[in-house]
Amino acid sequence: LKKYVIIVAGGTGKRMGTETPKQFLCLNSIPVLMHTINVFYLFDNMINIVLVLPKEHINEWSELCKQYSFNINHIVTKGGEARFHSVKNGLSQIKETNCLIAVHDGVRPLVAAEVIKRSFDCAEEKGAAVPSVTINDSLRILTEKYSRTIDRSSVRAIQTPQCFRADILKRAYEQEYEDFFTDDATVIENIGGKIYLVEGNRENIKITTSLDMQIAEALMRSKA
């Protein structure tokens, strides 16, 4: 099946204490978002890439592409209010229904190619697959006054790319927005879809703070 990836880069970098949105910051001298697009292109140079950016950052992005001579082909579309609306805008760029669609966070440049493959393969077979990793720390749930333990062995931290058969994903995104839609899996699940987990890679962190940028730099170095 033909493959698409919607790369969601909606954040405006408020948490970073910097004017530049985090996906435009440089990691090893190229912007985070170019790393992310590169990984998908290297995974499959026939993949169709849809990039969702806040309206006000689209010009800056095309300037960056010129500046860095970045020439991997991709469609750019504008983001919406929440992640849900951004993904929905991205989906509207994909007319096919018999294909596979990955949704990936723009600020996860360290996803491994084998994780992308695993997610697509499982989605082709089962409809909906998301990468996940085990959690090293003990976990507790807050209760009204104190806290109680939960068994971490059955809990997984969820990453992206979250991969789906296009018909399933499109149907899910026809519903009304809900506040608890934190990722695509929750959107699918809300219309009764089943989410299958595949193994992610630990390096695949979501860069949301300057501390994360420093960790990502260390991880990039150790990969090289």
Which residues are at the interface with its own copies (CB under 8 A)? 130, 132, 135-142, 145-152, 154-159, 180, 182-183, 185-186, 189, 194-197, 202-203, 206, 208-209, 211, 214-215, 217-219, 221-222
- Select 41 or 196, whichever has its Cβ closest to its own copies: 196
Residue 83 Cβ, how far from its own copies at the closest point, in Å?
A: 11
Contact 183, 153 (CB under 8 A): no
Taking the least distance from each CB to its own copies, the nearer of 113 and 218 is: 218
| Sign of the Cα pseudo-torsion (162, 165, 168, 170, in order) | positive
* CA distance readout (Å), 162 to 15, 25, 82, 115: 24, 24, 17, 10
CA 170 to chain centre: 17
Query: CB within 8 A of 217, min separation 6: which ones?
Result: 27, 28
Between 48 and 159, CB nearer to its own copies: 159
| Minimum distance from residue 43 beta carbon to its own copies (Å) | 21
Minimum distance, C-beta of residue 110 to its own copies, in the bound complex (Å):
11
Cα separation of the two ends of the chain:
32
Supply the minimum distance, in Å, between the C-beta of residue 176 and its own copies. Answer: 18
CB of 55 to its own copies, least distance (A): 26
The neighbour count for residue 12, using CB atoms within 10 Å, is: 15
Q: How far is the CB of 65 from its own copies (least distance, A)?
A: 29
Angle at which helices 32-43 and 113-126 pack, to 10 degrees? Answer: 60
Indicate the residue among 67 and 137 with the shorter CB distance to its own copies.
137
Amino acid present at 223:
K
1/218 with CB nearer its own copies: 218
Task: Give whichever of 64 and 157 is closer to its own copies, judged by the CB atom.
Answer: 157
**Is residue 139 a contact partner of residue 155, using CB atoms and an 8 Å limit?**
yes
